[in-house]
Structure 1
C-alpha cells in the first residue's frame, strides 16, 4: 500500500485522473489525445480532475504512442536577431496547424549547424525548418531526401527542399535608388561575407551603382552579419577621413548598428556626415536612438510560409520543390538624409 504522504509526494498519473472521474484509463487517454470516444461532459470532468490533481500529460510518451511525432524541428543561429523574429512567427502558425516546435541552436565554433540539425533528427522531428545558415548544397540535398525540409533565407537549386526568402535584389535596388534620389553618389557597401542573402545583396549593390552611372564610386568593404564587422568597417573608413563616403549600406542591421556605434564615438553626425542603411528591420533598428533606415523582410510572413510549406510536404511528399519569394519594403527612418557635400 502507498502511504498518504507517499501519495502526496509522487507525481499524479493518468490512472489517478481516471480514478477521480470514475472512468477507465483508456478513456482518459482518448481525452488527452483529443480523439473521439468521450462525451463533452466527460471531457470537462477529466480536465477538471487533472487540474485538481496537478496532472500534466507526458508529451514525450504521447509522441512515442503515435506513428507521427507532430513535431517540427527548427535550426537557428543563436545570436541572429532575425532568426529570433522568425521563431516568434513560427510558433503560432505551428500551433494552429497542430504541431509542436523543437529548437536546436548553432553556436559556432563550439556547435556547428550540422550538429544542430543532427540533434533535431535524433528527436523524431517530422520536418525541418532551416533558418539561413552555412550548410552546403550537398548536405542539404541529402537531407531533403531523408526528411521534408524548408530553408529560410537561402536557395539550394536542385535540392529536394522548399525555400522561402525575400527578393534580395529588389530590396537593395530600393536602397540605392533612394540614396541617389537624396543626392548621394559616394555609397559604400559593407559586405555580409558568406551569410544568408549576402551574395545577392552584393550583386544588387554593384548592379545598382552601375545602373546609376556610379561605377567609379563602387567600394565594397569586407564584413559579416555582426556588430563587430560593422565596427571594423567603420574603423577602416575613419582611418582615411578624406575619403569618407556620404552613405553606407550595411548588409544587415547588426552590421549597421556596429558601424553607427563606432562613428558616433568618433564624433561623426548621422545622417549629417554620413547616412547609414541596414537590411532586416530587426528590433534594434526600431529603437529611437538607433532609428535605422532599413529593408523590412516581413519575418512573420516568412515564418508562416515556411511552416505551411513543410506541413504541406509532409502531406504530399512527392511535390516538386518550391521557391516562395516575398517582396521587401524600404523603411525610412532618421539615419539617412541629404548629403552635406
Structure 2
C-alpha cells in the first residue's frame, strides 16, 4: 500500500484547501506569503513529493513539440531531422508545419496551435519580436537561427558575424579584394548576415558591394545573370545562404563563367546542397545537430522543469572549404 503523503495531507496539516496547496507548490499566484510559508513548511515536514505521473495525467499532457520550417530550405530539413531525434530521446513527439509558396507564417503557426502543441520551435522565423512575444504568451517558444530581443522566448542561434568573418578571411587570404555579398532579402536571418558582411568589410578596409536578392535559388540565378550581363564581375561572392549560392553558380555555368577560376563563391548553412560533388560549395557550417539539441532542451526545460526565464544559446559556426573558392584570376 502506498503510504506516501498526499496533497490532501499537506492541506489538512495547514488547514487550507488542496487547490491552495497546489497553487503554492506550482508557484502560481493567489495564496498569501504567510500561506505559502506554512504550506512549504508542512510539505517539508511530511516529506511530500509531487506525483509526476498523476500530475501529467491530470494536466492531460500531450508531449507534442511543434516545429515551424520552410519546406523549400534544405537546412531546415536537416534541423527538423535532428529535432525529431532529440525529441524522441526526451519522450516527445514532433508536429511539423511548413511554409510554402502560398502558406505564410501566421497560417503555419495556427496549425501548430490547433494541434495544441506544448511548445513551439521556430526555424528562422521572420515575425517581428513583438509578434513572437505575443505568441510566447500563449505557448513556450524557441527561436532558432536569429536574435529576439526583449521578449520571453528562448533563442538558439549561430554567431552569424563569426561565420561571415570566417568566409571573408578565407577569401581575403586567397588574395581577393573585390568581394560582393548577395543579400537574402528582408528576413531577420538575412539582415544579421548582411550586417556581418558590412562590418567585416569595413574592418578589412575593403568596399562593400551588396547585391539585392532573396533567400531562393531563383534569386541567386537572377543576380548571377545580371552580373554576367553587365560583365563587371567581382572576383568573389559571399551568398546569404546555400540556395542563393547554388543559383549563382547555375547562372554562371550557363553563361560560361568559371567557378572558381573567374569567380569564387561561398555559401552559408553547409546544407546537403553544398556537399554534392558537382556543386562542391565552400560554406559556413552552423552545426545543425547542436542547434537541434539545444532547441529541444530549451523547450523541455520549460515544460518539464518549470524554467521561466528566457535563455539564449549562441553557437560558433565554422567554414568548410571545398572546390568553389580559389585565388583570384591574374
- Aligned partners of 1:210 and 1:298: how far apart in 2? 27
Residue 164 of structure 1: how far off its partner (Å): 0.6
- Aligned partners of 1:330 and 1:223: how far apart in 2? 22
Structure 2 counterpart of 1:205: 197
Residue 226 of structure 1: how far off its partner (Å): 0.5
Structure 1 counterpart of 2:211: 221
Structure 2 residue aligned with 1:95, among 88, 96, 103?
A: 88
Pairing 1:164–2:156 present: yes
Residue 136 of structure 1: how far off its partner (Å): 2.1
The answer on whether the counterparts of 1:148 and 1:317 sit within 8 Å (CA) in structure 2 is: no
Please, which moves more after superposition, 316-325 or 223-232? 316-325
Structure 2 residue aligned with 1:230, among 202, 209, 220?
A: 220
Structure 2 counterpart of 1:4: none
Structure 2 counterpart of 1:302: 291
Residue 115 of structure 1: how far off its partner (Å): 1.1
- Aligned partners of 2:302 and 2:161: how far apart in 1? 28
Where structure 1 has 5 or more consecutive residues not aligned to the other structure, the ranges are 1-62
- Aligned partners of 2:205 and 2:121: how far apart in 1? 41
TM-score by length of 1: 0.78
TM-score by length of 2: 0.81
The answer on whether the counterparts of 1:153 and 1:196 sit within 8 Å (CA) in structure 2 is: no
Residue 211 of structure 1: how far off its partner (Å): 1.3
Structure 2 residue aligned with 1:119, among 111, 130, 140?
A: 111
Residue 127 of structure 1: how far off its partner (Å): 0.7
The answer on whether the counterparts of 1:281 and 1:294 sit within 8 Å (CA) in structure 2 is: yes
After superposition, the CA RMSD in angstroms is 1.5
- Aligned partners of 1:135 and 1:200: how far apart in 2? 14
The answer on whether the counterparts of 1:183 and 1:339 sit within 8 Å (CA) in structure 2 is: yes
Structure 1 counterpart of 2:16: none
Please, which moves more after superposition, 196-205 or 170-179? 196-205
Structure 2 counterpart of 1:268: 257
Count, aligned residues: 275
- Aligned partners of 2:310 and 2:144: how far apart in 1? 13
Structure 2 residue aligned with 1:107, among 70, 85, 100?
A: 100
- Aligned partners of 2:129 and 2:188: how far apart in 1? 13
The answer on whether the counterparts of 2:125 and 2:143 sit within 8 Å (CA) in structure 1 is: no
Residue 317 of structure 1: how far off its partner (Å): 4.1
Please, which moves more after superposition, 248-257 or 110-119? 110-119
| Shift in CA distance, 64/121, structure 1 to aligned 2, threshold 3 Å | farther
- Aligned partners of 1:339 and 1:285: how far apart in 2? 21
Structure 1 counterpart of 2:122: 130
- Aligned partners of 2:295 and 2:170: how far apart in 1? 31
- Aligned partners of 1:223 and 1:64: how far apart in 2? 50
Please, which moves more after superposition, 154-163 or 291-300? 154-163
Question: What SS class does the counterpart of residue 324 from structure 1 fall into?
Answer: strand
Structure 2 counterpart of 1:255: 244
Question: What SS class does the counterpart of residue 284 from structure 1 fall into?
Answer: helix
Residue 73 of structure 1: how far off its partner (Å): 0.7
Where structure 2 has 5 or more consecutive residues not aligned to the other structure, the ranges are 1-55
Pairing 1:71–2:64 present: yes
